[in-house]
């Protein structure tokens, strides 16, 4: 295992420009475990297929099988990781061509996998966190009659997500992209008998489809520009493409990412997506799927590096969502919705980082990894609370749970430390790096990121205080209890990640060195000298924590949300009116349009045809009158006809 020192590759890259790796190694050449990388996807697929086709027969052991298989993928992933770390840097990009998939004329998209440093990170996150959440779900879903289906969908999700990050071309990525969308749809709407769940699921899928339009168009643009949609060929040819093409590709990819990652302006579905079971919120709507947008942008860095416009849009989207999500998280009383707002905000951070270009890509991924751990931990802890509180999600009916759910509180607290940026835990490193990089590249982004750090600390403290501290505000008949070990152990394992992942990945695993061959890395000097910036960040975080503590732990929290509040709070409670906007601008006009169209089709289009038919009918009716039954009038018309024919002949002869 040779990890080169930090200085070596950086000195070679002139001004941080990305040097895409062109030397790809086929899995067969690489040998070892690489030819087996298809197993990563195949294992969970088997689970999903067996459980869905097997039906009730698998009820007894289905969930166990479905848990073992992702763990199997995780083992394969570990073996691959070890082998990849042992390989020299320029032999770490391995491709595995499985079969010819879609081709027509010059277009070609093989079913091929590509494992490199970036996808490796994701594979570890997906299989690792995924496996833990499978284990946790055994406990969480124990009493659900449809547990088997739940696990089948979870396996389907893991498979699709792995395909998404392992695809070696954009079209195959699209399959994973919509595959996770489908799994997300199925899982949000898992409790289908609830109308709200069904509506939320549909909303998520449709809004994701808006983003998918972007991905479709991006792929088509790539084809007419580069003649290929394979990562290698696109990235290699990117510098020769025209500015317009690159900008358009960048913007359409951004649209796709915005849809999948619930960023502004396609963010409205994520809060509703919390209708799904909590493990789903943890895995799909926090740790993995919603970060696919970040993956897409970082993966396509060769294109974004070449288009200032596109990258600026990424930054703008990131800043808006980072702040909006944080504000929403502060006002929601539903613990999961508050966490969902936080997810939006944290992904906004990642978009900001990705929007900074080579200075930020590695930290976008770093923060993504950290977020995957601490947010999954937070959601699982929240799930444990909900489980213990008889499915109550309103934090105004929580309080003082530290006494009865000590393990859950420890895990939640670990997540709190991880997200809030308190040294020396996860976000302290990842978020600080983003703030530093932002300060060095774009001062507005830096200030916004600083502000968001303060708000993050505020809403996390609010959640912590309202749930575990203060007075009891439980509804009658609620008897909170600690969750079983099958749930708490995964929580605790994730807590360890939430606490120490940052140190590990930044200082032990050297993530920026690991990712540099794929994403490029160009450190920047922040506008404010580094130690001062660090201190400033800490001060802002501390202020956030103290304000929230004073408000929600020192004072009593009313069970009814107070009504005399600022305009901003009201707006935040309504998720900044995104639903109202969508309803007014898209839904209502759409309903009128479809209604009008149905009318138009019946009356105008079909009516024209029917009108023609009745005209012909009337014409025939008229003709009928000529048939009067008088033989002599028939004879007259015969003679007339004969004379006419004769006349025509005569006239024709003249001319």
Within 243-272, which residues bind other proteins (CB under 8 A)?
Answer: 245
Length of the chain: 655
* 534 burial level (CB within 10 Å; 0-12, 13-18, 19+): middle
Q: Which one of 8-16, 306-314, 340-348, 601-609 is the stretch in contact with other proteins (CB under 8 A)?
A: 601-609
Query: What residues does 394 pair with on adjacent strands?
Result: 334
What's the min distance (Å) between Cβ of 227 and other proteins? 4
Among 179, 454, 520, 544, binds other proteins (CB under 8 A): 179
Told to check if 631 binds other proteins by CB under 8 A, we report: yes
The residues in 75-114 that bind other proteins, with binding defined as CB under 8 A, are 99-107, 111
Q: What CA–CA distances, in Å, run from 64 to 33, 45, 190, 608?
A: 26, 15, 19, 62
**Residue 24: strand, helix, or coil:** coil
- Which residue number, 649 or 655, has a Cβ lying nearer to other proteins? 649
* Of the candidate residues 178, 377, 426, 433, the single one contacting other proteins (CB under 8 A): 178
Query: CA angle, 351 as apex, 272 and 297 as ends, to 5°?
Result: 100
Q: Are 281 and 340 in contact (CB under 8 A)?
A: yes
Residue closer to other proteins by CB (options 89, 175) is: 175
Nearer to other proteins among residue 1 and residue 631 (C-beta): 631
Which helix (H) or strand (E) segment holds residue 475: the answer is none
Residue 318 to residues 291, 354, 357, 575, 579, Cα–Cα distance (Å)? 13, 9, 13, 17, 20
Beta bridge partners of 167: 113
Q: How many residues bind other proteins (CB under 8 A)?
A: 76
Question: What does DSSP assign to residue 505?
Answer: I
Site membership for other proteins, residue 647 (CB under 8 A): no
Q: Residue 445 CB, nearest distance to other proteins (Å)?
A: 30
Nearer residue to other proteins within complex by CB, 208 or 519: 208
Single out the segment in contact with other proteins by CB under 8 A; choices: 134-142, 191-199, 327-335, 552-560: 191-199
Determine if 28 is a binding residue for other proteins (CB under 8 A).
no
Q: Which residue in this structure is represented by tokens 């416009």?
A: 309
* Backbone φ, ψ for residue 96 (5° rounding): -130, 110
- Distance separating alpha carbons of residues 37 and 94, to the nearest angstrom: 10
Exposed, middle or buried, 577 (CB in 10 Å: 0-12/13-18/19+)? middle
Judged by CB under 8 A, the residue of 213, 565, 584, 644 near other proteins is 213
* Binding characters for other proteins, 115-154, by CB under 8 A (x = yes): ----------------------------------------
Single out the residue of 33, 34, 74, 174 in contact with other proteins (rule: CB under 8 A): 174
The answer to the question of residue 635 lying near other proteins (CB under 8 A) is: yes
CB 39 within 8 A of CB 109: no
Measured from the CB atom, is 105 or 529 closer to other proteins? 105
Cβ neighbours around 87 below 10 Å, total:
17
CB 124 within 8 A of CB 365: no
How far apart are the C-alpha atoms of 137 and 487, rounded to whole Å?
Answer: 7
Residue 217 binds other proteins (CB under 8 A): yes
107 phi, psi to nearest 5 deg:
-80, 140
Query: What is the C-alpha separation between 70 and 611, in angstroms, rounded?
Result: 63
Q: Which residues in the 221-240 window bind other proteins by CB under 8 A? A: 221, 223-228, 232-234, 236-237, 240
* Contact flag: residue 42 with other proteins (CB under 8 A): no
| Residue in 81, 199, 316, 404 binding other proteins, rule: CB under 8 A | 199
Residues 556-595 that bind other proteins (CB under 8 A): 590, 593-595
State in angstroms the smallest separation of the CB of 572 from other proteins. Answer: 28
Residues 413-472 that bind other proteins (CB under 8 A): none
Q: Which of 79, 220, 503, 527 binds other proteins (CB under 8 A)?
A: 220
Establish if 6 lies at the interface with other proteins (CB under 8 A): no
């Amino acid at each position: 295992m040779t990890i080169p020192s930090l200085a070596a590759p950086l000195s070679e890259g002139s001004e941080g420009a990305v040097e895409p790796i062109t030397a790809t190694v086929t899995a067969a050449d690489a040998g070892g475990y690489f030819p087996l990388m298809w197993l990563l996807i195949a294992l969970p697929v088997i689970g999903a297929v067996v459980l869905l086709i097997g039906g009730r027969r698998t009820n007894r052991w289905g969930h166990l099988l479905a848990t073992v298989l992702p763990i199997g993928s995780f083992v394969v992933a570990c073996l691959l990781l070890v082998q990849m770390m042992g390989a020299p840097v320029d032999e770490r990009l391995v491709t595995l061509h499985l079969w010819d998939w879609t081709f027509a004329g010059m277009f070609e998209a093989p079913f091929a996998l590509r494992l490199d440093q970036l996808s490796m990170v994701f594979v570890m996150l997906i299989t690792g966190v995924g496996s833990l959440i499978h284990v946790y779900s055994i406990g969480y879903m124990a009493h659900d009659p449809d547990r088997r289906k739940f696990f089948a969908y979870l396996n389907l999700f893991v498979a699709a997500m792995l395909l998404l990050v392992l695809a070696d071309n954009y079209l195959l990525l699209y399959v994973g992209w919509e595959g996770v969308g489908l799994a997300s749809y199925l899982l949000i709407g898992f409790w289908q008998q609830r109308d709200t769940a069904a509506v939320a699921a549909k909303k998520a899928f449709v809004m994701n489809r808006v983003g998918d339009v972007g991905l479709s168009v991006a792929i088509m643009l790539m084809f007419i520009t580069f003649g290929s949609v394979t990562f290698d060929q696109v990235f290699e040819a990117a510098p020769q493409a025209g500015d317009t093409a690159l900008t358009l590709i960048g913007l359409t990819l951004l649209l796709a990412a915005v849809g999948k990652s619930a960023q502004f302006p396609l963010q409205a579905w994520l809060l509703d997506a919390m209708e799904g079971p909590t493990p789903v919120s943890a895995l799909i709507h926090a740790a993995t799927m919603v970060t696919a947008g970040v993956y897409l942008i970082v993966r396509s860095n060769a294109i974004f590096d070449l288009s200032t416009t596109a990258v600026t849009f990424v930054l703008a989207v990131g800043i808006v969502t980072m702040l909006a999500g944080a504000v929403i998280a502060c006002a929601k009383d539903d613990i999961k919705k508050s966490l969902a707002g936080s997810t939006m905000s944290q992904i906004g951070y990642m978009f900001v980082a990705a929007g900074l270009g080579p200075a930020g890509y590695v930290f976008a991924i770093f923060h993504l990894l950290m977020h995957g751990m601490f947010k999954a931990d937070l959601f699982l802890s929240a799930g444990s609370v909900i489980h213990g509180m008889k499915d109550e999600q309103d934090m105004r009916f929580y309080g003082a749970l530290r006494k009865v759910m000590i393990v859950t509180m420890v895990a939640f607290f670990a997540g709190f430390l991880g997200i809030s940026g308190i040294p020396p835990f996860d976000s302290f490193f990842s978020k600080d790096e983003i703030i530093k990089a932002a300060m060095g590249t774009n001062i507005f982004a830096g200030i916004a990121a600083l502000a968001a750090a303060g708000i993050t600390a505020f809403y996390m403290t609010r959640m912590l205080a309202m749930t575990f501290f203060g007075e009891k505000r439980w509804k009658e008949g609620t008897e909170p209890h600690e969750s079983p070990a099958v749930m708490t152990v995964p929580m605790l394992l994730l807590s360890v990640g939430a606490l120490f992942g940052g140190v590990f990945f930044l200082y032990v695993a050297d993530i920026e060195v690991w990712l540099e061959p794929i994403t490029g890395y160009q450190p920047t000097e922040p506008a404010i000298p580094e130690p001062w910036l660090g201190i400033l960040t800490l001060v802002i975080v501390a202020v956030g924590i103290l304000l929230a503590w004073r408000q929600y732990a020192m004072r009593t929290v009313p069970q009814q949300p107070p009504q005399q509040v600022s305009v901003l709070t009201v707006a935040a409670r309504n998720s900044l009116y995104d639903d109202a906007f969508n309803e007014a601008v898209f839904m209502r006009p759409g309903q009128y349009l479809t209604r009008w169209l149905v009318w138009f089709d019946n009356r105008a289009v079909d009516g024209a045809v029917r009108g023609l038919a009745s005209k012909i009918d009337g014409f025939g009716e008229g003709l009928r009158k000529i048939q009067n039954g008088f033989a002599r009038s028939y004879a007259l018309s015969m003679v007339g006809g004969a004379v006419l024919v004769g006349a025509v002949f005569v006239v024709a002869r003249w001319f």
